[in-house]
Amino acid sequence: MTNQELKLPGGGKAVVFPEEVVVFNFTEADSSALGDFLATHSVVPVTFLATKFDPAVFSQAETRNRSFIFAEKFISRADVNPEYPVQWLAEGNLIPMDAGGLEVLATPTGFQVQSVTF
C-alpha cells in the first residue's frame, strides 16, 4: 500500500501510512475534515506534529486519545522541506532538533520519539 496524502481545508496535511496517520500543521479549521476521515480509520494511531503550540488544537487531539508532538522546528537540514518532511522521515532517518524540540525516528511501523527537550 502506498502512502496516501490527505490535504485538509485549514492548510494541514495528513499522511496515511499502512499502520499510522501522521498529521502536520493541523488547525481548528481542519478539525471537521480530519474527524470525518478518522471516523473510518478509528483503529489507526494518529500522531499530530506541529510547529506552533495551539492549546485549542492540543485539546482536540488529546480528547481523541491521539499523540501530539510540538516542536519549534522539525528539521534544520537545508536539503529537506520543513513544511513536508514525510518522504525523508519515511526513509528511517533520525531527525535531530536544534535548540529545543525532539528527535523522531521513522520506523517501518510508524514514528518513535527518541527524546524531547524544551
- Angle, alpha carbons 95-64-59 (nearest 5°): 80
pLDDT tier at 7 (50, 70, 90 boundaries)? confident
Are 48 and 69 in contact, with CB atoms under 8 Å apart? yes
pLDDT tier at 2 (50, 70, 90 boundaries)? low
% of the chain surpassing 70 pLDDT: 31
Q: Can you give the pLDDT at residue 95?
A: 45
Q: Are strands 21-24 and 110-117 parallel, antiparallel or unpaired?
A: unpaired
Q: Which run of H or of E encompasses 1? A: none
Q: Pick from 12, 24, 11, 14: which is nearest to 104 by CA?
A: 24
Q: Are strands 21-24 and 13-16 parallel, antiparallel or unpaired?
A: antiparallel
Whole-structure pTM value: 0.49
Q: Can you give the pLDDT at residue 118?
A: 33
